[in-house]
Amino acid sequence: MKDDYFIPPYNDLMGDILKKHTAEGGMDNLKGQGKPLSQEYFSGDTFQHFQRIAKDAGYKPHWLKLQHDIRDEVMAIAASPLSAELETRIDQLNSKIFAYNQSCPPPMQKGSVSLATIQSAIERWQ
Protein backbone atom coordinates (compact mmCIF):
# COMPACT_ATOMS: atom_id res chain seq x y z
CA MET A 1 0.00 0.00 0.00
CA LYS A 2 1.35 3.37 -0.96
CA ASP A 3 1.36 6.34 1.36
CA ASP A 4 0.74 8.82 -1.47
CA TYR A 5 -2.34 10.21 0.20
CA PHE A 6 -0.10 11.66 2.94
CA ILE A 7 1.86 13.74 0.44
CA PRO A 8 -0.05 16.88 -0.53
CA PRO A 9 -0.18 17.68 -4.24
CA TYR A 10 2.45 20.16 -5.41
CA ASN A 11 1.00 23.47 -6.52
CA ASP A 12 3.25 25.84 -8.42
CA LEU A 13 0.98 28.87 -8.40
CA MET A 14 3.58 31.39 -9.55
CA GLY A 15 4.75 29.02 -12.27
CA ASP A 16 1.18 28.61 -13.48
CA ILE A 17 0.66 32.38 -13.52
CA LEU A 18 3.89 32.91 -15.48
CA LYS A 19 2.97 30.19 -18.00
CA LYS A 20 -0.46 31.75 -18.54
CA HIS A 21 1.04 35.24 -18.88
CA THR A 22 3.60 33.94 -21.39
CA ALA A 23 0.90 32.14 -23.39
CA GLU A 24 -1.08 35.40 -23.59
CA GLY A 25 1.96 37.21 -24.99
CA GLY A 26 2.78 39.18 -21.86
CA MET A 27 6.48 38.35 -22.07
CA ASP A 28 6.97 39.27 -25.74
CA ASN A 29 8.15 42.88 -25.49
CA LEU A 30 10.12 43.08 -22.26
CA LYS A 31 12.75 45.77 -21.80
CA GLY A 32 16.19 44.33 -22.49
CA GLN A 33 14.87 41.08 -23.95
CA GLY A 34 17.56 39.21 -25.88
CA LYS A 35 20.39 41.28 -24.41
CA PRO A 36 23.00 39.76 -22.09
CA LEU A 37 22.82 40.57 -18.40
CA SER A 38 25.51 42.87 -17.05
CA GLN A 39 28.18 41.39 -14.79
CA GLU A 40 26.84 43.27 -11.75
CA TYR A 41 23.78 41.01 -11.75
CA PHE A 42 26.05 38.01 -11.22
CA SER A 43 27.75 39.43 -8.12
CA GLY A 44 26.21 39.26 -4.64
CA ASP A 45 23.36 37.06 -3.49
CA THR A 46 19.83 36.49 -4.76
CA PHE A 47 18.20 38.94 -2.34
CA GLN A 48 20.57 41.71 -3.44
CA HIS A 49 19.65 40.97 -7.06
CA PHE A 50 15.96 41.21 -6.21
CA GLN A 51 16.46 44.51 -4.38
CA ARG A 52 18.44 46.00 -7.27
CA ILE A 53 15.92 44.91 -9.91
CA ALA A 54 12.97 46.05 -7.77
CA LYS A 55 14.60 49.43 -7.18
CA ASP A 56 15.33 49.83 -10.89
CA ALA A 57 11.65 49.10 -11.60
CA GLY A 58 10.48 51.74 -9.09
CA TYR A 59 9.08 49.27 -6.53
CA LYS A 60 8.63 50.50 -2.96
CA PRO A 61 8.07 48.02 -0.14
CA HIS A 62 4.76 48.11 1.72
CA TRP A 63 6.40 49.26 4.95
CA LEU A 64 7.95 52.27 3.22
CA LYS A 65 4.54 53.36 1.90
CA LEU A 66 3.15 52.93 5.42
CA GLN A 67 6.01 55.02 6.83
CA HIS A 68 5.07 57.91 4.53
CA ASP A 69 1.36 57.59 5.42
CA ILE A 70 2.17 57.57 9.14
CA ARG A 71 4.46 60.60 8.81
CA ASP A 72 1.74 62.56 7.02
CA GLU A 73 -0.88 61.55 9.58
CA VAL A 74 1.37 62.52 12.53
CA MET A 75 1.87 65.95 10.96
CA ALA A 76 -1.88 66.33 10.38
CA ILE A 77 -2.74 65.33 13.95
CA ALA A 78 -0.13 67.71 15.38
CA ALA A 79 -1.61 70.59 13.36
CA SER A 80 -5.21 69.77 14.39
CA PRO A 81 -6.95 71.51 17.27
CA LEU A 82 -7.93 69.36 20.25
CA SER A 83 -11.22 67.59 19.63
CA ALA A 84 -13.10 64.44 20.56
CA GLU A 85 -12.20 62.70 17.30
CA LEU A 86 -8.46 63.19 17.87
CA GLU A 87 -8.25 60.11 20.13
CA THR A 88 -9.92 58.04 17.41
CA ARG A 89 -7.42 59.30 14.84
CA ILE A 90 -4.54 58.46 17.20
CA ASP A 91 -5.94 54.94 17.69
CA GLN A 92 -6.11 54.48 13.92
CA LEU A 93 -2.58 55.85 13.62
CA ASN A 94 -1.32 53.38 16.22
CA SER A 95 -2.92 50.55 14.23
CA LYS A 96 -0.90 51.69 11.20
CA ILE A 97 2.24 51.87 13.34
CA PHE A 98 1.60 48.30 14.53
CA ALA A 99 1.28 47.11 10.92
CA TYR A 100 4.42 49.07 10.01
CA ASN A 101 6.40 47.46 12.84
CA GLN A 102 5.33 43.99 11.68
CA SER A 103 6.60 44.54 8.14
CA CYS A 104 9.66 46.80 8.42
CA PRO A 105 13.23 45.77 9.34
CA PRO A 106 13.68 45.56 13.14
CA PRO A 107 16.05 48.54 13.46
CA MET A 108 13.41 50.76 11.82
CA GLN A 109 10.59 49.92 14.25
CA LYS A 110 9.05 52.79 16.22
CA GLY A 111 6.79 53.12 19.24
CA SER A 112 3.14 54.13 19.40
CA VAL A 113 1.92 57.72 19.60
CA SER A 114 -0.26 59.53 22.13
CA LEU A 115 -1.41 63.13 22.53
CA ALA A 116 1.39 63.70 25.04
CA THR A 117 4.08 62.40 22.67
CA ILE A 118 2.85 63.82 19.37
CA GLN A 119 5.58 66.50 19.20
CA SER A 120 8.38 63.97 19.70
CA ALA A 121 6.66 61.68 17.19
CA ILE A 122 7.08 64.36 14.54
CA GLU A 123 10.85 64.14 14.96
CA ARG A 124 10.82 60.32 14.96
CA TRP A 125 8.77 60.06 11.77
CA GLN A 126 10.57 62.77 9.74
Residue 5 or 107, more confident = 107
pTM above 0.95, yes or no: no
Distance CA 122, CA 11 (A): 46
Residue 61 or 112, more confident = 112
Chain segment 31-46, per-residue pLDDT in tens: 888 888 777 777 777 7
Cα 59 to Cα 47, 63, 82, distances in angstroms: 14, 12, 38
